[in-house]
Amino acid sequence: MVRILHTSDWHLGATLEGFSRDEEHRRFLEWLVNEIRAGGDDILVVAGDVFDQAQPSAEAQRAYYRFLTSLRSTGLRQVVIVGGNHDSPSRLEAPRDLLETLRIHVVGGLAGDPDAWDRCLCRVQGDDGRALAVVAAVPYVHECHLGIQTALADEGVIRTSFQERVAALYRALADRAEQMGDGAPLMATGHLACVGIRPGDAPVEIHRIGSLDGLPPEVFDARFRHVALGHLHRLFRVKESPAWYSGTPVPLGLAEAASPRQVLRVEIPDGAGEAVVTKVPVPLSRQVLEVAGTLDEVAGRLRQMEWDGDLPPYILARVRVDHYALGIETDVMAAAAARGPSGPVLVRVTQDRALSAMPGDSEPVQRSLRDLAPEEVFVDLCRDRGVGDDPDLMQAFRSLLAQEVEG
């Protein structure tokens, strides 16, 4: 039996409204080392988005390399790390030769040349020198690297072509992995969006192909006993397939904070048995909470608040008002500060205007630019300039946006 710990979407260096998450990430990584040591895992898989930005802070990089160094004491046979859409492929791969000496296999990105796909394959060796497992370490792959051109193309054709190219990639890797595996179990990684997307999943549009809902699990070759996925920030199984998302271990926002965070332990038995997947809860170090109500209600809750976790919670306050008013943020901040330096940390205050209480008021409710996706901004701009719905124009915009993200 081979035992794998699957995690993803760390987003080291992330902030919440400018407030650092470094301490929560430090605690998670420290816990993860201890969990691997106690669980006797053979392989650690990190399925993309190690960092929150392509140019991560020095502190985020220190946390990453400190963690990798600490794995030497765990008994792991292999670490497999792939890049996500937030990572810089070249930055992740820069120390690849050095990391290989520590049995850390990194694939930051993948170009379209099939001859280069072999570097995705990682043969994990057992004590007897035979393969314990073979991992097809597939990072985030932009559609242009699969030979797909999206500009001014039919959306249905793009969708079909994209599914076929992704399936061909996994099929080719399964063929090559089988040849080098001595009959050992095969597994794969991926950083992409599969079926199972639901409202609130963020981010979804990793590939700029219009309304593509998500790839079906059939794109993963049936020879892979487990497919460790990243990108969607919640834990779930893709239908009844061997493909799983592990979700973020540290909640990056309010929606993610509403559900427990976990990593996955995967046990793949010898022979043809199905992999056994166990959810391992990640200890909560800091809550992210919303406090909503009138000014008096919000202030009262902040003064009396209790919370779980060692660190004081991050608070997003929504104050219900009849009219937008100056000074409300100051009043809410004062209520939070009344608990002293160990009290809740106020990261944002917004005012929700009660429109129903203001009949005849025609003033529009303004949306913050930071709450809008790039495509929403573009659509609003087109409407402002008198440009109607134009599918070709939207497809061209998505193609340009994808090039900007990739660059």
Lookup result for tokens 């109607």 = 388
This prediction has a pTM of 0.84
Q: What is the DSSP letter of 215?
A: B
pLDDT at 162: 86
Question: CATH 3.30.160.720 region(s) of the chain?
Answer: 288-361
- Gap between the Cα atoms of 191 and 49, Å rounded: 8
pLDDT at 151: 66
Phi, psi at residue 396, to the nearest 5°?
A: -65, -40
With a CB cutoff of 8 Å and minimum separation 6, the contacts of 27 are 283, 285
**Class for domain 288-361, per CATH?**
alpha beta
Question: CATH 3.60.21.10 region(s) of the chain?
Answer: 2-281
Q: Provide the percentage of residues in the chain whose pLDDT is more than 70.
A: 86
- Gap between the Cα atoms of 363 and 352, Å rounded: 14
Q: What angle do CA 346, 352, 353 make, to 5 degrees?
A: 150
pLDDT in tens, 3-54: 999 999 999 999 999 999 999 999 999 999 999 999 999 999 999 999 999 9
- Gap between the Cα atoms of 64 and 14, Å rounded: 13
**Spatial contact of 18 and 54, defined as CB atoms under 8 Å apart:** no
With a CB cutoff of 8 Å and minimum separation 6, the contacts of 322 are 353, 354, 357, 358
Of 70, 152, 142, 189, which Cα lies nearest the Cα of 395?
A: 152
Identify the three-state secondary structure at position 242.
coil
With a CB cutoff of 8 Å and minimum separation 6, the contacts of 110 are 116, 117, 120, 138, 139, 141, 145
Over residues 244-264, mean pLDDT: 95
State which amino acid sits at residue 328.
I
- Gap between the Cα atoms of 6 and 265, Å rounded: 6
Q: According to DSSP H, which parts of 114-218 are helical?
A: 155-179
State which amino acid sits at residue 24.
E
pLDDT in tens, 222-231: 999 999 999 9
- pLDDT of 161 over the 80 cut: yes
- Gap between the Cα atoms of 257 and 279, Å rounded: 17
- pLDDT of 347 over the 70 cut: yes
pLDDT in tens, 120-142: 999 999 888 899 999 999 999 98
- Gap between the Cα atoms of 162 and 209, Å rounded: 9
For residue 238, what are its two tokens? 């893709």
CATH architecture, range 2-281: 4-Layer Sandwich (3.60)
